[in-house]
Amino acid sequence: MCCHDDELGVFSIRMGVEIVVYQMELTKQNLEKVQTFVREHRQDDVRRLALQAAKYPDMDFSFVLHQIKGWQLARKKLPSWATHEQLLYPQQLSMEQCSSEQTARYKQQLVHRLCGKGLGESTLIDLTGGLGVDFSFMAQGFRQAYYVEQQAELCALAKHNFPLLGLPSARVISGDGTTFLRSMSDRAGVIYLDPARRDAAGSKTYAIEDCTPDVALLSDELVEKAQWVVVKLSPMLDWHAAVAQLKHVCEVHIVSVGGECKELLLVMQRHVGEHSLQLYAVNDGNVFACSAEEAQQRAPLLRTSTFDYLFEPHASLMKAGCFAALSARYGVEALATNTHLFAAMMPVNDFPGRQFRVLSVTPFAKKSLKSALHGIDKANLAVRNFPLSVAELRKRLKLKEGGEYYLFATTIGTMHALIICKKAM
């Protein structure tokens, strides 16, 4: 069914984009039966359960197994979704690729901050809907929210799931996001995109030009059609190159969960002033912000040969490179220019990363190492600006993995050194 202008409120759709009104291929009675079965067996081993398919000839057992596996993944990745027993889940690949609840909630906070007091009068458009995890969180509070997706299955699931997630007025659009963008006649508050990072053969890719859609080609159109544009990219991308490639970028958000970098978010707007780029290094709700100018400065080097505490910034800070700002705010000094480890005489409350109590610092020489490592048979190893890999270092030191000791092989000045530590906090 083609949409008329009044069906989409402020948006005029001229190119045949359709609102999805798909019905699931299940009657209400069958759906209730499936959901009851899923509820009773959702803790079961899916592989073992699959062997019992012949016992249930009246059910689409492949669909049932997808629902059980989907719930099991959601329980870990999307705990608030898992509390809704009537939600339906797609094939496993979509579940594995979707955002976690933690990163989706961060994006919710981000778009709400961007819109500010005008949130309740704004429109959100997600041009790459997918499973709808990011959309389901970001859309809360917007006057209108449009989910655009090409895959019919995902559209049908969205139509079913969104009312259960508190989004009864969310509009589900079946169609191509680029086509929808070019058919818009009115400006949105926020446009969100998470370009597909797989090529035609299904292999992973991360370069902007290899993703679908190519946001670099659309950047001028995007900022004309929305006050704010938020783009999710691979965390493997260098943010400097991404900013140069996309233009119009005013904010860079590097988002980590549990110390692992998960997402690179770029915020774009039509008029970006000079020297206005802001960086946000995020880890588990901890946000470290600084300007791009600060990120270009070098952190002061260690001025003393002794230090009692060692500091390792979290993954997002490492990627952002805000080392001078980090040093200034927390009173720590860099061991060396390219080491990205910091030192101080005292512990630091709320340091954004890990901190360790230093037991000894020894030159990386056979005799010194033997004495320093006496009594240590296992340790957690890391290398920073050092000629050996972790595997080579472990073989050289003959240490098992794990335990309470943390060993950093690094370069201090011109000296290769081993820093032996224990966690401080």
Give yes or no for a contact between 170 and 145, defined as CB atoms under 8 angstroms apart: yes
113 vs 414, more confident: 113
When pLDDT is averaged across residues 152-174 and rounded to a whole number, the result is: 94
Give yes or no for a contact between 143 and 117, defined as CB atoms under 8 angstroms apart: no
- d(Cα 2, Cα 15) in Å, to the nearest integer? 9
pLDDT at site 95: 82
pLDDT bucket at 28, cuts 50 / 70 / 90: low
When pLDDT is averaged across residues 188-214 and rounded to a whole number, the result is: 85
- Confidence check: pLDDT of 304 > 90: no
When pLDDT is averaged across residues 254-268 and rounded to a whole number, the result is: 96
Torsion sign (Cα): 151, 156, 162, 165: negative
pLDDT at site 16: 34
- d(Cα 191, Cα 212) in Å, to the nearest integer? 16
Residue with tokens 């009115």: 186
Q: What is the CATH number of domain 101-275?
A: 3.40.50.150
- d(Cα 320, Cα 180) in Å, to the nearest integer? 34
When pLDDT is averaged across residues 397-412 and rounded to a whole number, the result is: 95
**CA angle in degrees (0–180, nearest 5) for 362-365-368:** 50
40 vs 5, more confident: 40
pLDDT at site 15: 32
94 vs 397, more confident: 397
Phi then psi for residue 228, to 5 deg, are -130, 140
- d(Cα 354, Cα 348) in Å, to the nearest integer? 10
The β-bridge partners of 288 are 281
- d(Cα 282, Cα 279) in Å, to the nearest integer? 10
Q: Which of 32-41, 116-125, 203-212, 241-250 has the lowest mean pLDDT?
A: 203-212
Task: Provide the CA 82 distance to its chain's centre, in angstroms.
Answer: 20
Other Cβ atoms closer than 10 A to 37: 17
First and final C-alpha spacing in the chain: 60
**Domain residue extents for the chain:** 7-97, 101-275, 299-423
Task: Give the number of C-alpha atoms closer than 13 A to the C-alpha of residue 108, restricted to the C-beta side.
Answer: 19
Instruction: Convert the pLDDT of each residue in 48-87 to its tens digit.
Output: 999 999 998 888 888 899 999 999 999 999 999 999 999 9
Percent of the chain with pLDDT over 90: 75
CATH topology of domain 7-97: Arc Repressor Mutant, subunit A (1.10.10)
pLDDT bucket at 201, cuts 50 / 70 / 90: low
When pLDDT is averaged across residues 135-153 and rounded to a whole number, the result is: 96
pLDDT bucket at 272, cuts 50 / 70 / 90: confident
- Confidence check: pLDDT of 93 > 80: no
